[in-house]
Amino acid sequence: MASIVTAPIPRNRTSARHAAPRSWRDAVRGAAGVVPAPMSHEGSIEVSAGGQRLLARWSSSRPPTLTLSADRRAPAELRVHLRGTMEAGAVSFGPHLTLRIDADDALARECVARLFDLARQSGVVSVLFADALLRTLALHVFTRYAALAAESARYGDRLAAVLVRHLQAFIDARLDRRLSRTDLARLAGYDAREFSTAFRNTFGMTPMQYVIERRLDRACLLIANTERDLADIAISTGFSSQSHLTSTLKKRRGITPLRLRRQSARVLAAGAAR
């Protein structure tokens, strides 16, 4: 259980740190009727972003602490450093595990924002909430980033099944945005060259070829089943213009958007006439 900073960060100091009082468990028992399970064994989670650093330490032999400090060296992007073990050693983070959190990782970013707020509060409820968030953040970051990369490594020169699903969902949700091989490699926990090899061995094409094919799949679906303007469909599926969509579709599928729409209309009309 992490203790909570009981006052705002002093202006004339770079950090504020408070250890949990000896009577903390009795206070929780009296207020809530239960004692939360402690974070077992030794470890820490450090969060750094935008000039602030939050450090939580847990131990089975001494009171845990939560420290919030100002640090000009903290990177602009959100990073989480994990060390040690949790839950009687059932989860091991190793001696040094630093992970950069994706910009779209809403769960991790919400946990961090709440922890920064709780570090300036006091009270039993704040302590309980902070403990739950620390566990959630540590396990979420470990399973989404570190454990996923470790599982992928066991597949040799192919991508793990769980990573394939993760990449497919990530790409499909961002077809209207710029996607690069570097972005996808970083998400998968690979360097760019290794990722390209593993991706080609898994999908039978390069990452960018796959992105183009998924964009064409989405565009064809919209062309055949809606009356949306072709230029709007092109932009919404990641093409720079209607002419870009037309040239790409004709080159890869042997048909133009207008011809595809006319064929689909004839098929629908024939089906309705039966």
* Burial 147-161, CB ≥16 within 10 A → b, else e: ebeebbeebeebbbe
Can you tell me the mean pLDDT for 110-134? 82
Cβ neighbours, 10 Å, residue 53? 20
Q: What are phi and psi of 244, to 5 degrees?
A: -65, -45
Q: Look up residue 101 and give its DSSP letter.
A: P
What confidence tier does 19 reach under pLDDT thresholds 50, 70, 90? Answer: very low
What confidence tier does 18 reach under pLDDT thresholds 50, 70, 90? Answer: very low
What confidence tier does 136 reach under pLDDT thresholds 50, 70, 90? Answer: confident
Q: Looking at 6-10, 164-168, 250-254, 261-265, which range is the least confident one? A: 6-10
Let me know: does 219 contact 257? Beta carbons within 8 Å: yes
In this prediction, residue 222 carries a pLDDT of 96
Can you tell me the mean pLDDT for 51-59? 81
Let me know: does 218 contact 237? Beta carbons within 8 Å: yes
Share the mean pLDDT of the chain.
Answer: 77
In this prediction, residue 261 carries a pLDDT of 94
In this prediction, residue 204 carries a pLDDT of 94
Please give the residue that has the higher pLDDT: either 258 or 62: 258
In this prediction, residue 42 carries a pLDDT of 74
What is the token pair recorded at 132? 């739950």
What confidence tier does 80 reach under pLDDT thresholds 50, 70, 90? Answer: confident
Give the type of residue at 83: R
Give the type of residue at 220: C
Please give the residue that has the higher pLDDT: either 78 or 28: 78
- What percent of the chain has pLDDT above 90? 30
In this prediction, residue 252 carries a pLDDT of 96
Place of tokens 């570097």: 182
Can you tell me the mean pLDDT for 242-267? 95
- What percent of the chain has pLDDT above 70? 76
In this prediction, residue 147 carries a pLDDT of 63
Model confidence at 11: pLDDT above 50: no
Please give the residue that has the higher pLDDT: either 32 or 120: 120
Q: Looking at 61-70, 195-204, 264-273, which range is the least confident one? A: 61-70
Can you tell me the mean pLDDT for 64-89? 75
Q: Alpha carbon of 209 to those of 143, 181, 234, 261: distances in Å?
A: 29, 10, 17, 24
Let me know: does 272 contact 266? Beta carbons within 8 Å: no
How far is it, in rounded angstroms, from Cα 274 to Cα 271? 6
In this prediction, residue 155 carries a pLDDT of 57
What confidence tier does 219 reach under pLDDT thresholds 50, 70, 90? Answer: very high
Angle at CA 124, nearest 5°, toward 130 and 19?
70
Please give the residue that has the higher pLDDT: either 20 or 270: 270
| Domains (range + CATH), the chain | 15-153 (no CATH), 161-273 (1.10.10.60)
Long-range contacts of 232-238 (CB under 8 A, 24+ apart): 233/257, 235/176, 236/176, 237/175, 237/176, 238/175, 238/176, 238/177, 238/179, 238/211
In this prediction, residue 34 carries a pLDDT of 38
Place of tokens 């989670």: 45
Can you tell me the mean pLDDT for 255-269? 91
In this prediction, residue 127 carries a pLDDT of 74
